[in-house]
Amino acid sequence: MKLLGLPLLLVLLAVTPPGCQGIIIPRCQLVRILRQHGLEGFVGERVADWVCLAKHESSYNTGAINRNKDGSSDYGIFQINSKYWCYNGRTPGASHGCRIHCSKLLDNNITDDIKCAKLIAQRARGLTPWVAWRNHCRGKDLRPYVKGC
């Protein structure tokens, strides 16, 4: 039953439209949450970098899912990848470094997303694993992302 149950659950998760879960976190609320979790100065990056990253990866949508060409998918506000970091049961050759089911990265509580993102950033010694950060945030004036918060 255990072996039968898990694939069925994954099928059900896969056919659940992404819009059914997740919320858009308002920018200043995200700033507050990220500060609470010690991201200011973490691996030498600013909270503004993380907000910019979230803006360009998911538009602050905690329920965002996107499929990659290699068959893996990216989950949640930080678009965490199923090839290396979270487990979705259908990504070949996956090593899920954050030891978490990808679907947990789609709910309204981003505590686990932050924990996993910190591990990714720590391993990379920065935010370079995020293409959107490299393309839209790195080296830019990011003050608007924390302005008024």
Ligand X SMILES: *[C@@H]1O[C@H](CO)[C@@H](O)[C@H](O)[C@H]1NC(C)=O
Residue numbers at the binding site for ligand X (CB under 6 A): 109, 111-112
Question: Which residue lies nearest ligand X, judged by its C-beta?
Answer: 109
- Closer to ligand X by CB, 31 or 116: give it: 116
- Say which of 49, 57, 112, 141 is annotated catalytic: 57
Q: How many CB atoms lie within 10 A of CB 70?
A: 12
57 has catalytic annotation? yes
Per-position DSSP letters for 119-147, written without gaps between them: HHHHHHTSSTT-HHHHHHTTTS--GGGTT
Q: In what order do the strands lie in the sheet with 80-81?
A: 65-67, 73-75, 80-81
Selected catalytic residue, list 74, 107, 112, 113: 74
- Write down the least CB distance from residue 99 to ligand X, Å: 13
Q: How far apart are CA 26 and CA 51, in angstroms?
A: 10
Query: Is 45 noted as a catalytic residue in this protein?
Result: no
Q: Which is nearer to ligand X, 111 or 128 (CB)?
A: 111
Minimum Å gap between C-beta 98 and ligand X is 12
Which CB atom, from 47 or from 116, has the smaller least distance to ligand X?
116
User: Which of 39, 44, 45, 55 shows the shortest CA–CA distance to 136?
Assistant: 55
**Smallest distance from ligand X to CB 115, Å:** 7
Give the catalytic positions in this structure.
Answer: 57, 74
